[in-house]
Amino acid sequence: MRIKKVKVTFLALMLCSFFSWSQAFAQEAYEFVNRDIHEILYALSLYTGISISADDTVSGKADFRCSGENFEEGFDAFLLQARLYVDKAENRWTVSRIHIQKNNGLYSLNAFDVTPLQLFEKVAIATGLCVTYDSLPTMKVSLHTDFCLAEELLRRITGLCMGFSLEKELEKAFHVSRVNSSQNHAAFSGKISFVENAGKWLVDVQNAPLSLAAEKIFNQAGKQFCFALGNEAKIMRACFKADSFDEALGLLCMQAGAEFKIHGDVYFLLPAKNKNSFADRGKKWRLCQLNFLKSSECVPMIAKRFPEIECMSSNESQRFLFLSDEEKALELKDFIAEIDCKNPSRLVKLQYIRTDDFLSHLPPFLDKASISDTGQGDSFFFIGSEAAYQRLLKELESIDRPVSRVRYDLLIMQYQSTRGSEWNPRLRTSRVHFGDINDGAVQLGNVLNLNLDVIGAFGLHFAGELQAAISESKAKVFADTTLNGVSGKPINFQNTNTYRYRDNNLDPETGEPIYSGVTKEIISGLKLEVTGTVTGDGMITSKITASVSRQGTDLSTTTGNPPPTSEKVITTEVRARSGEPVVLSGLVQEEDNENVSRTPIISKIPIIGNFFKGRETAGEKTELVIYLLPSAEIFGMEEKTSAEKKEDVKKRLLEIASKCVEVKNERKI
């Protein structure tokens, strides 16, 4: 059961991974980057509905990008790119690296990157011949032949395997066997010549296997050897002089991709571990010490300037190893001397912003490695060229500027209105003064004393109404102040009362309060939070949250419950110009009161006592209205003080009064 679950899970994962491919196919455009060929074929099979499979010759990864309406053209292009062939049946396509065709008893063969074993197997299946073989080499070969007989096709494949021959055992049976040493020598048609004189060797080899050349030079030198190479390596041409036998043998092995080891008196010929031993001859690993640059910075530059030099970074940041001969080592040292120079460090002082803010928002042309913090919070060291330093200073002119400041002139007015009825049996008299009916005056003294420029912000008509409301006690100033802050940072204003009470519970049996010893708080009053942001066009975006809470009568001693509270909250976001007022209203609180006054003794007589009682019922409604006048600081310009602003208001009032006098005189005339 576990195996079935694993299979189902694997299938689900495969379907999920190919879901994105199916979406691409729906648009007739698909792309595979460095994907396994079997996965690509499986995805294409899901898309087309055709069974597409690969045989044992197909392996590795490939890239496939195609877009268009003709799928078969795109698929053929993919096969050509990946060096593959396809055999298309009615509902089944088989992809392979070997393609065999038959025509009138003749066969053609096209194969890419396959082993001789796979070639013999495919040919035997296609021709119906019986082919047996000894242990064949595992190297991959490619073969392309025109139409020929099946026997000739087998001989051409055998020719790719050095040291093997094809033998016909029966009419339709062939055997591929390894050629022994004597047969190999007899079939050899190249040239092998070794001349030894006073310990020096003259070597002349052409188109000869390494085994034959090694056997001859070992026999001529009278030394023992063991040939441990799996595949027969071939020397195409070698003609040189060597000062010793070991040098001559080493040069021969180097050309054939082999090396030799000596154990006692026996020479062992083995596959070379380092395939570039010939190219690395005369080179050695050297250590380079840097003075200023880091190895991670220097090695990439060396790789571009000297691609033939192999470099390897060490554990230390200013040291690395490189493989080179003496001549290239001198060139490399001259190159390092030019680039490994000390860039001067310069101290940069910041005027308004902090170093942490600058490092977290570096300009694109600056690398963080060229900046070093001084730890003072207002300066840093810059390491770089003079041109980069001058560019940094130019950028700082627009970056290192003071943060815009926002000022709010705040006026909070509490408007009150009362309603009620009164029954009072007492009579009152007073003397009436002459002229009371004509008594009236309008003054703006209270309004002019406010911090907020009411006349400039709301006009003379509003200022007069506000002055009348204050004079008649219908309104009073709850708060009159100025709030200053930084653009984008919140400003908090709070005018509250804190009420502390002991937390208690009522005893269910006696009904008396039981004190727990815990003291709690209830905060009531006005809370205001403003966050202003100055934009590039001079506008001010203000996020405002205002709340007014009110505490009721303390009932904790009788009911055990905390005092009741009520709260009104306004949250808004407005965008206004600098100097354009903002008004917030709707913070309304209502309270009803009833007072009874009575005459002692007589007021308690039934019916008659009602004439000696006084009742007063009153309802009070209060509303807090918040007036905000936002203004932004303009960089490089001095703002007027509050005294100068009030002086401007007085001048404006005098101008209005003088115009009124002129109009009155004109009417009299």
Q: Is 514 exposed, middle or buried (0-12, 13-18, 19+ CB in 10 A)?
A: exposed
The pairing of beta strand 613-632 with beta strand 405-423: antiparallel
Q: List pLDDT tens digits, range 232-276.
A: 677 888 888 999 998 888 888 887 778 888 888 889 888 876 655
Q: Is residue 195 classed as helix, strand or coil in its secondary structure? A: strand
Q: Are 508 and 547 in contact (CB under 8 A)?
A: no
Instruction: Please tell me the distance from the alpha carbon of residue 266 to that of residue 563, in angstroms, as a whole number.
Output: 107
What count of other Cβ atoms lies within 10 Å of the Cβ of residue 323?
17
Q: How many helices (H) and strands (E) does the chain have?
A: 17, 31
Q: Is residue 314 classed as helix, strand or coil in its secondary structure? A: coil
The pairing of beta strand 51-54 with beta strand 92-96: parallel
Residue with tokens 């596959």: 271
Q: What is the structure's pLDDT at 499?
A: 77
Q: What is the structure's pLDDT at 638?
A: 44
Q: List pLDDT tens digits, range 196-216.
A: 888 889 999 888 888 888 888
CA-closest candidate to residue 524, choices 545, 552, 544, 503: 552
Q: What is the structure's pLDDT at 429?
A: 37
Q: What is the CA radius of gyration of the chain?
A: 51
Whole-model pTM: value is 0.40
Could you please report the per-residue DSSP string of 407-468? EEEEEEEEEEEEEEEEE-------PPPTTGGG------HHHHTSSS-HHHHH-HHHHHHHHH
Q: Is residue 395 classed as helix, strand or coil in its secondary structure? A: helix
Instruction: Please tell me the distance from the alpha carbon of residue 632 to that of residue 487, in angstroms, as a whole number.
Output: 9
Q: What is the structure's pLDDT at 667?
A: 45
Q: What is the structure's pLDDT at 1?
A: 37
| Residue segments in the chain with a per-residue pLDDT below the cut of 50 | 1-27, 423, 426-442, 636-639, 661, 663-664, 667-669
Q: What region, left, alpha or beta, does residue 607 occupy, with left being phi > 0 and alpha being psi -120 to 50 degrees?
A: left
